[in-house]
């Protein structure tokens, strides 16, 4: 499977309007300019659309870092959820 972190970067770049953005698993809203609550909703929507996954409200409550997003997506994509 292609590295999800690499595949997420274009989504984050587009939503946050930051073409040079580089993500790490530790990236979070407090250390990434522009990642506020509205951007978070837009990121979730864009990720769901791009990867064909759906997140539950309970899952969203636990997404604090890019690493959290990657881990959840790995599980969903592995099981086709």
Q: Above 60 in pLDDT, residue 2?
A: no
15: which 2 tokens? Answer: 């939503």
pLDDT digits (tens, 9 = 90+) for 19-76: 999 999 999 999 999 999 999 999 999 999 999 999 999 999 999 999 999 999 999 9
CATH code given to domain 4-79: 1.10.1200.10
Contact 61, 45 (CB under 8 A): no
More confident residue, 80 or 29: 29
């Amino acid at each position: 499977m292609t590295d999800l972190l690499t595949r997420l970067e274009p989504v984050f770049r587009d939503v946050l309007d930051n073409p040079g953005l580089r993500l790490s698993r530790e990236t979070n809203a407090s250390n990434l300019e522009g990642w506020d609550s509205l951007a978070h909703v837009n990121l979730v929507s864009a990720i769901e659309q791009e990867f064909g996954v759906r997140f539950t409200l309970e899952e969203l409550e636990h997404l604090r870092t890019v690493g959290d997003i990657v881990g959840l997506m790995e599980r969903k994509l592995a099981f086709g959820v």
